[in-house]
Chain A
């Protein structure tokens, strides 16, 4: 890659935050996440009367002294969360100055770091065309290095159908699925939003907490076009001849805003998180937005 994805600025502040997952983990391995399972953790959950077969080591003798009844202490068992971080590897992600793909990789890297730091398990996936490239599961700090290496080697440059690609991903347990994309496709805006909605619904069905990270470039947010131009779609190579007037640019911004709002509303409908990022923004700004939206906590 021309630009270093994971530079010094990237690592600054990563230690300050961790992901607040609403997903109460079930199954999986022990970790730092509170699970619904009551187990051998140090975190107290509740009391219940002793029944035969209970571990007598968990009887609370202090309570017995006050009530003359045997009570057993219940503790919340902490288990790891399984993160699936999906990166849209379509051609459109290569667009922009700086490229959206760079921010996408950094966001994926940052979330990987937060997850691994919290003793969770992470897998990285790139949606390339109708294929899905899936990394191995990463855990621990060693896993983070491997993950960064994997992210640096993600190849962008295909026409990706998000909905179709996501349905090819195997989900075995509850977990958190992060989708980093510009959400552009060859379909019309309404059809595109419908596909995104379908994808979120599918992920929710697969018991995933969904986080949508919408990455746009500055040129997409505030296009600076002039005169008569031929705009070429990076994915379909289709050309649209326009005369760029200030009125047309204003109209474009209105359409873009409506598109983003529709995605956000779709996310809200299925209790998914939605954060919009510009490719010239830093990880700190992402963290700030995440904290603001209750996705991250310091």
Chain B
């Protein structure tokens, strides 16, 4: 409900005037009569029958006051109900990305305000079909074409806060497909960010609020030559005025130090925590909470971006065994850029004598060889394995060998192994083609679209297979080769629960099974635990909508990972700028519905006319 203009309420001063006129008019005219007794009795009888007789005596006055009030209401142009009733479909699009977690007014987030305005709008007597879309980089259709307002409001209220990064574009795309074929629709978009609404008949409700916001985007550490540790926290000031705040550093969950930092409006600042003793660091590394946390020590408009984590990981030496006749390409590539890698080389005929499991190699690379028995734990890379068409034993599950092709063009296929070298190809004199096992993904394929290189998690270890001899290609001579090897080692060396310990909000987390555990337990930022049973060697955890610290526990192993608040969502000083392909879109702070308000003056005036007719009839009857 709303009022277009308030000045007509001043006309209410005439109400006492009407009352006064009636009081003056009602000056008693005296008349002598022979006796009052009969009149008294008649009057008492009437009053006994109608207790509101007094009211009836002044009925005209009350009707005139009512008429004046109706005139005032009509002039105020109230828009009580039926806003946008001309639309058959109304699509409510609510941004629930990270910035919407910011404060709109005291105790109310922008998302809360969006929900409130949307709910009020739905409840304001509109007769239409409603659809609700949430958008946070990913668009979610919460409800579609619903006329039950309770369900629509429930759908609006069920949109939860996230710390995801995302503009409205995905939501706009979904709404565009939703409204295709609709003629009379209207989109109400609640957001605090810039959006291109393309050709939608859209009204944008801008929920951006200017204010103070400092963001702590990252925290990292380095170890000095003397073993002391230096921690660096990166802070950005998105507020209007200069930011002066304390920054706390926690080692695990214990406060270690507080530094003061200053940053001008729109500028960044770095705060250092130096000389953390080596012993303290080692103690933290071996504790059950091996992470650093930095936090801005003052409240602002967006609290979710005020802290960041640095998960500490061990830096143990990694042992690789290369079983090959001679391959200098591989020797160089396996030690690439990692001084802590220990590479042992052994020839194929000597490999059988070596107890690989006992030596504790993290990775064994078989170049042109296939062992009789697989090592118990180590990850394995097979390069150009010697295979017959009828594979036996363990080889059946790993090598689904199809054929040997000559003079083929090998292309990279988009995967983690071919990161940064997508769309690359090279010639190969001879290559083996495989059927892709269910546990693996392909990273090389021949021109006939058959797999010739794949990687995956099988039997509690990482296994990668390359179906050609590196000497039969010019690939090792290209700049892409070291990148490929770096990626391949990164994917095959890791056998930890998580491949990374920093994720973006909303990103999927791949949880690996280690030591054949049957289940894993993920604890989120609110200490809520979720248990997952392993049906395969990995599970996907995607409930990473909130920034903060998470942990994954498998058996006795526990690993932390942090979800970061996206830096782009911290910039609250930016006003929502709305663009459209063909027309101007009006941006307002509240739903604009003035167009339909005039319609409701007519019913009000009809009521007034009816009232005046009744009044005239009553007046005539009195005469």
Contacts and interface: CB of A to CB of B under 8 A. Distances in A.
| A and B bind | yes
Interface of A: 91-93, 95-96, 100, 182, 184-189, 192, 217, 219-220, 223, 225, 227-236, 238-243, 245-248, 251-252, 254-256, 259
B35 A256 contact: no
Nearest to A225: B31
A137 B35 CA distance: 33
Given A248-B42, A251-B42, A217 B34 contact: yes
A248 B57 contact: no
B29 A243 contact: no
11 contacts: A93-B34, A96-B34, A184-B37, A186-B37, A187-B37, A225-B31, A233-B34, A240-B40, A242-B43, A248-B46, A251-B43
A238 B36 CA distance: 8
A234 B43 contact: no
A236 B33 CA distance: 11
Interface in B20-36: 26, 28-36
Contact of B30 (A229, A236, A238, A247): A229
Contacts of B40: 188, 240
B28 to A, nearest CB: 4
B29 A230 contact: yes
A96 B31 CA distance: 12
Contacts, number: 97
Contacts of B29: 227-230
B42 A189 contact: no
Contacts of A230: 28-31
Given A228-B28, A248-B43, A243 B36 contact: no
Contacts of A93: 34
B355 interface: no
B394 interface: no
Contacts of B32: 95, 231-232, 234
Contacts of A225: 31
Given A252-B39, A255-B45, A259-B38, A241 B28 contact: yes
Q: Chain A's interface: helix, strand, loop or mixed, by majority?
A: mixed
Nearest to B623: A226
A225 B33 CA distance: 11
Given A95-B32, A232-B32, A251-B46, A242 B39 contact: yes
Q: Chain B's interface: helix, strand, loop or mixed, by majority?
A: helix
Interface residues of B, number: 22
A110 B563 CA distance: 122
Given A225-B31, A234-B35, 8 more contacts: A92-B34, A188-B41, A229-B30, A245-B622, A246-B621, A251-B43, A254-B42, A255-B45
Contacts of B37: 184-189, 192
Contacts of A223: 33
Given A240-B40, A255-B42, A229 B35 contact: no
Contacts of A219: 33
A291 to B, nearest CB: 29
A89 B423 CA distance: 131
A268 to B, nearest CB: 22
Interface in B62-106: none
A239 B40 CA distance: 10
A227 B619 CA distance: 11
Given A247-B46, A251-B45, A251-B46, A235 B35 contact: yes
B41 to A, nearest CB: 5
A234 B46 CA distance: 23
Contact of B34 (A182, A189, A192, A255): A182
B31 A252 contact: no
Q: Which 6 A-B pairs have the closest CB atoms?
A: A92-B34, A184-B35, A95-B34, A252-B42, A251-B42, A230-B28
A157 to B, nearest CB: 12
Contact of B57 (A233, A238, A239, A243): A243
Contacts of B57: 228, 243
B612 to A, nearest CB: 21
